[in-house]
A and B are shown apart, each in its own frame.
Chain A
Amino acid sequence: MNRSIKVTGGLLLGIIAVALAGPLVSPHDYDQTNFDALLQPPTLEGLQLFGTDDLGRDLFVRSMLGVQVTILVAVVASIVSLVIGVAYGAIAGYAGGRVDALMMRFVDTLYALPFIFFVILLMVAFERNFLLIFVAIGAINWLDMARIVRGQTLSLREREFVAAARLIGVSPARILLRHIAPNLVGVVIVYVTLTIPQAILVESFLSFLGLGIQEPQTSLGTLVDAGVNQMEGASWMLLIPATLLAAILLLFNFLGDVLRDHFDARGEL
Chain B
Amino acid sequence: MSKLRAFVYVILFAGAAFVVWQYQATEDIDEPETPVLHRGLPADPESVDPQKARSTQAGDVLRDIGEGLLSYAPGGELIPGAAESWSIADDGLTYTFVIRDNARWSNGDPVTAGDFAFSLRRLVDPATAAFYANSIAVIANAEAIVAGELSPDELGVEAVDDRTLTIRLEQPTPYLLALLTHPVTFPVHAGSIAMHGDEFTRPGNLLSNGAYTLDAWVPGSVLELSRNEYYWNNAATAIDEVRHHVLTQGVTELNRYRAGELHITSTVPPDNFAQVREEYGDELRVAPYLGIYYYGFNLTKPPFRDNPGLREALSMAIDREVLVEKIVGRGEAPAYSWVPPGVDNYEPRRLAFADMSQDERNARARRLLAEAGYGPDNPLEIELRYNTSDEHRRIALAVQAMWKDALGVETTLINEELQVLLANMREAEVTQVFRSSWIGDYNDAHTFLSIVESDNEANMPRYVNEEYDAMMDQAASQTNPQWRRVHLEEAERVFLADHAAIPLYFYVSKHLVNPGVQGWEDNVLDYHYSQHLSLAPVDATP
| A and B directly contacting (CB within 8 A) | yes
Chain A interfacial positions (CB closer than 8 Å to B): 31-33, 35, 38, 54-55, 124, 127-128, 210-211, 214-216, 226, 229-230, 232-233
Instruction: Provide the bound-state CA to CA distance between A32 and B394, in Å.
Output: 13
Instruction: Provide the bound-state CA to CA distance between A33 and B251, in Å.
Output: 25
- Check A55–B413 contact: CB distance below 8 A: no
- Check A215–B269 contact: CB distance below 8 A: no
Nearest chain B CB to A262 CB, angstrom units: 32
- Check B390–A226 contact: CB distance below 8 A: yes
- Check B417–A33 contact: CB distance below 8 A: no
In the bound complex, residues from chain A placing their C-beta under 8 Å from that of B414 are 214
- Check B322–A33 contact: CB distance below 8 A: no
| A127/B420 contact (C-beta < 8 A), A33-B397, A33-B401, A54-B394 known | yes
B376-410 CB mask vs A (1 if < 8 Å, else 0) is: 00000000000011100110111001000000000
In the bound complex, residues from chain A placing their C-beta under 8 Å from that of B415 are 128, 210, 214-215
Known: A35-B322, A127-B416. 5 other contacts (CB 8 A): A35-B398, A128-B415, A210-B389, A211-B417, A215-B413
Name 21 interchain pairs, CB-CB below 8 A, sorted by A: A31-B397, A35-B326, A35-B398, A35-B401, A55-B397, A127-B420, A210-B389, A210-B417, A211-B388, A214-B415, A215-B396, A215-B415, A216-B413, A229-B251, A229-B269, A229-B271, A229-B272, A230-B271, A232-B275, A233-B271, A233-B274
- Check B275–A55 contact: CB distance below 8 A: no
Nearest chain B CB to A152 CB, angstrom units: 19
In the bound complex, residues from chain A placing their C-beta under 8 Å from that of B394 are 54-55
8 Å CB contact of A216 from B390, B397, B416, B420? B397
Q: How large is the interface on B (under 10, 10 to 19, 20 to 34, 35 or more residues)?
A: 20 to 34
In the bound complex, residues from chain B placing their C-beta under 8 Å from that of A124 are 417
In the bound complex, residues from chain A placing their C-beta under 8 Å from that of B269 are 229
Instruction: Provide the bound-state CA to CA distance between A211 and B417, in Å.
Output: 8
In the bound complex, residues from chain A placing their C-beta under 8 Å from that of B275 are 232-233
| A229/B390 contact (C-beta < 8 A), A33-B398, A128-B415 known | yes
Residue of A nearest to B269 (CB): A229
Instruction: Provide the bound-state CA to CA distance between A54 and B271, in Å.
Output: 9
Nearest chain A CB to B332 CB, angstrom units: 16
In the bound complex, residues from chain A placing their C-beta under 8 Å from that of B272 are 229, 232-233
In the bound complex, residues from chain A placing their C-beta under 8 Å from that of B322 are 35
Which residues from 269 to 328 on chain B have a C-beta closer than 8 Å to any C-beta of chain A?
269, 271-272, 274-275, 322, 326-327
Residue of A nearest to B401 (CB): A33
| A215/B388 contact (C-beta < 8 A), A35-B322, A127-B420, A233-B274 known | no
B325-362 CB mask vs A (1 if < 8 Å, else 0) is: 01100000000000000000000000000000000000
In the bound complex, residues from chain B placing their C-beta under 8 Å from that of A54 are 271, 394
Residue of A nearest to B387 (CB): A210
7 closest Cβ contacts across the A-B interface?
A229-B271, A210-B388, A33-B401, A233-B275, A35-B326, A55-B397, A35-B322
Nearest chain B CB to A228 CB, angstrom units: 8
In the bound complex, residues from chain B placing their C-beta under 8 Å from that of A229 are 251, 269, 271-272, 390
In the bound complex, residues from chain B placing their C-beta under 8 Å from that of A233 are 271-272, 274-275
Residue of A nearest to B390 (CB): A229
Residue of B nearest to A55 (CB): B397
Instruction: Provide the bound-state CA to CA distance between A126 and B398, in Å.
Output: 27
In the bound complex, residues from chain A placing their C-beta under 8 Å from that of B388 are 210-211
In the bound complex, residues from chain B placing their C-beta under 8 Å from that of A38 are 326
In the bound complex, residues from chain B placing their C-beta under 8 Å from that of A210 are 388-389, 415, 417
In the bound complex, residues from chain A placing their C-beta under 8 Å from that of B271 are 54, 229-230, 233
In the bound complex, residues from chain A placing their C-beta under 8 Å from that of B274 are 233
Residue of B nearest to A33 (CB): B401
In the bound complex, residues from chain A placing their C-beta under 8 Å from that of B420 are 127
Nearest chain B CB to A151 CB, angstrom units: 15
In the bound complex, residues from chain B placing their C-beta under 8 Å from that of A226 are 390
- Check A215–B326 contact: CB distance below 8 A: no
Instruction: Provide the bound-state CA to CA distance between A230 and B271, in Å.
Output: 6
Residue of B nearest to A228 (CB): B251
Nearest chain B CB to A204 CB, angstrom units: 16
Nearest chain B CB to A41 CB, angstrom units: 15
B230-245 CB mask vs A (1 if < 8 Å, else 0) is: 0000000000000000
In the bound complex, residues from chain A placing their C-beta under 8 Å from that of B416 are 127
Nearest chain B CB to A123 CB, angstrom units: 9
In the bound complex, residues from chain A placing their C-beta under 8 Å from that of B398 are 33, 35, 55
Instruction: Provide the bound-state CA to CA distance between A35 and B326, in Å.
Output: 7
Nearest chain B CB to A23 CB, angstrom units: 18
Instruction: Provide the bound-state CA to CA distance between A88 and B414, in Å.
Output: 39
Instruction: Provide the bound-state CA to CA distance between A210 and B251, in Å.
Output: 15
Residue of A nearest to B414 (CB): A214
In the bound complex, residues from chain A placing their C-beta under 8 Å from that of B251 are 229
Nearest chain B CB to A36 CB, angstrom units: 9
In the bound complex, residues from chain B placing their C-beta under 8 Å from that of A31 are 397
Nearest chain A CB to B372 CB, angstrom units: 25
Instruction: Provide the bound-state CA to CA distance between A161 and B210, in Å.
Output: 81
In the bound complex, residues from chain A placing their C-beta under 8 Å from that of B401 are 32-33, 35, 55
Residue of B nearest to A36 (CB): B326
Residue of B nearest to A39 (CB): B274
Residue of B nearest to A124 (CB): B417
Instruction: Provide the bound-state CA to CA distance between A124 and B272, in Å.
Output: 29
B253-281 CB mask vs A (1 if < 8 Å, else 0) is: 00000000000000001011011000000
Nearest chain B CB to A216 CB, angstrom units: 7
Instruction: Provide the bound-state CA to CA distance between A204 and B135, in Å.
Output: 43
In the bound complex, residues from chain B placing their C-beta under 8 Å from that of A211 are 388, 417
Nearest chain A CB to B242 CB, angstrom units: 29
